[in-house]
Structure 1
Amino acid sequence: MSLVFLLSLALQVACAVHVVRSGRPLYWIWLLLLGSYLAVAVYVLIAVIPDLRRNPGGHKVARQAMKVIDPQRRRRELMRQLELSNTVDNRRKLADECLQQGDFANAQELYQGLLTGLYATDPHFMLGLAQAQAGGEQYAQARATLDALIQANPHYKSSDGHLLYARCLEELGETEAALEEYRVLADSYPGEEGRFRYGRLLARHQHLDEARNVLQAQLKRARLMPGYYRRKEQQWLKAAQLELSRIGDS
């Protein structure tokens, strides 16, 4: 049997089970069997996703499914909201969405537009602007924005902002300063990215023993964490394992 046929069959069976469990008319099963992928797509849109939305535990799954099916849907909705009401909150939501989608040029323009008047030094908008600048590889500008953020908001704390600052230093070739920032983040950042970037930068500059210690400790610590945490941080744990393999786990 071909992989395409097996995948189609698996999806049809899964949807058929949902038909029975949700108490929907059984003719849906015949439609699913006859319509293959098209019928599955229709059923997911009009039955599975609405059910997930009504289930508090399924809201996240529904949002993720809609992002796969129509990744621009939320952006279009936010643009419509902004056309109806040009508020700071609506502009902020659209800027955040552009940033998440990797549209750094538009995100940067939107954040810059927000940084006026009462919001000229808003730390959340300044951090968003720095993230958009770094996303567009404008690391010097991103660092300058972060410096201005701290100067204007000396008591503002952000783990993501701290990590971004260290990344800018690394990209700008200020290795010792970046290592110092990563050293702090290895203990304070609420995730594995800070530890991985610290170990990788050590390895890149031939501090191999230190790099091994950092990466080995990272992986050992992660094994003691709950499964959901390891799944959430899988990207950085895999990257740490690959880096450790590259430099030699000895």
Structure 2
Amino acid sequence: MPILVLAVILIQGFCLYHCSQSGKAQHWFYILLLLPGLGSAAYFFVEILPELASTRRGQRVVGDIATVLDPDREYRERKAQVELSGTPAAKAALADECARKSMFDDAVTLYRSALTGHFADDPNLLLGLAKVQIEQADFAGCQQTLDDLRSKNPNFASQDGHLIYARALEGQAKNDEALKEYDAVAGYFAGFEAKVRYGLFLLKQGQVAKANELLQGVVATFKQLPRHAQDLNRDWYNVARRNVEG
């Protein structure tokens, strides 16, 4: 009971502080003071939650909360859409959700069922399949899918596809080819992922000096970014920071 009381007091204090700093209507002060538990809950859902939903980081938090409360909601909705329409787009959306839930075999089956008829060579569907295969550690299959994509859609360009191709080569220990592809994609990829993955690959190859140069560059660049750009790149910055030497 003391822990619960302390939690209510802390939450109430946070809500009062937020209310004072954000200039919310004065009636919230009375609600928060007179109804500590219910008032704080009402303030969170009416004031804080919509505010969170308006930012990228907040949207992630709200999405995480929704997932915790009903982890299968998105899956059910996308599955219902497939049953209703059966379009390649609906199958791809369900496949992506299956992959998020680590249901990789189901995701591959859905993508392959979408890759038929007029959509047999669709580059976005092939790229989606490759994304699942790389997470499934089907490196040879992933490379073959991307080779097919490139041969059937020579004008299609994707930085994500290029990075996945490098990862597929690395996964098969085709290190010389992987080095070439990592070096190429890291030069133009938006964001830090390609540079960090390249740095980690170089570390595994024993090229510590070059890896450190890449990773230190990521860390230094991150510190100069505006806040919204830091939010977008924070995960890969943290990976770089943990692996850089010196």
TM-score by length of 2: 0.80
- 2:230 corresponds to: 230
Secondary structure at 1:173 match in 2? coil
Q: CA deviation at 1:79?
A: 1.7
1:65-214 pair list within 5 angstroms: 65-214=65-214
d(CA) in 1 for partners of 2:186, 2:7: 42
Unaligned runs of 5+ in 2: none
State the Cα RMSD in Å. 3.3
d(CA) in 1 for partners of 2:62, 2:27: 20
Q: CA deviation at 1:76?
A: 1.2
Mark the CA change 1:2 to 1:50 in structure 2 (over 3 Å): closer, same or farther.
Answer: closer
d(CA) in 1 for partners of 2:47, 2:122: 41
Q: CA deviation at 1:50?
A: 8.3
d(CA) in 2 for partners of 1:236, 1:4: 37
Q: Is the 8 A contact 2:12 2:32 kept in 1?
A: no
d(CA) in 2 for partners of 1:239, 1:2: 39
Q: Is the 8 A contact 1:52 1:62 kept in 2?
A: no
Task: Return the letter of the residue paired with 1:170.
Answer: E
Mark the CA change 1:117 to 1:23 in structure 2 (over 3 Å): closer, same or farther.
Answer: farther
Secondary structure at 1:162 match in 2? helix
Mark the CA change 1:50 to 1:124 in structure 2 (over 3 Å): closer, same or farther.
Answer: same
d(CA) in 2 for partners of 1:225, 1:51: 26
Q: Is the 8 A contact 2:8 2:36 kept in 1?
A: no
Task: Return the letter of the residue paired with 2:164.
Answer: L
d(CA) in 2 for partners of 1:155, 1:22: 59
Mark the CA change 1:49 to 1:111 in structure 2 (over 3 Å): closer, same or farther.
Answer: farther
d(CA) in 2 for partners of 1:140, 1:161: 15
Q: CA deviation at 1:82?
A: 2.5
**Residues matched between the structures, number:** 238
Q: Is the 8 A contact 2:219 2:237 kept in 1?
A: yes
Q: CA deviation at 1:121?
A: 0.7
Mark the CA change 1:74 to 1:158 in structure 2 (over 3 Å): closer, same or farther.
Answer: same
Deviations 1:7-46 (A, max 9, x none): 443345556878x85979x87976662x79xx94x9867x
Q: CA deviation at 1:134?
A: 1.4
Secondary structure at 1:188 match in 2? coil
Unaligned runs of 5+ in 1: none
Q: Is the 8 A contact 1:140 1:172 kept in 2?
A: yes
Deviations 1:124-177 (A, max 9, x none): 111111111111111111111111111111111111111110001111101111
Mark the CA change 1:77 to 1:218 in structure 2 (over 3 Å): closer, same or farther.
Answer: same
Structure 1, 174-183 or 3-12: larger mean CA deviation: 3-12
d(CA) in 1 for partners of 2:44, 2:223: 36
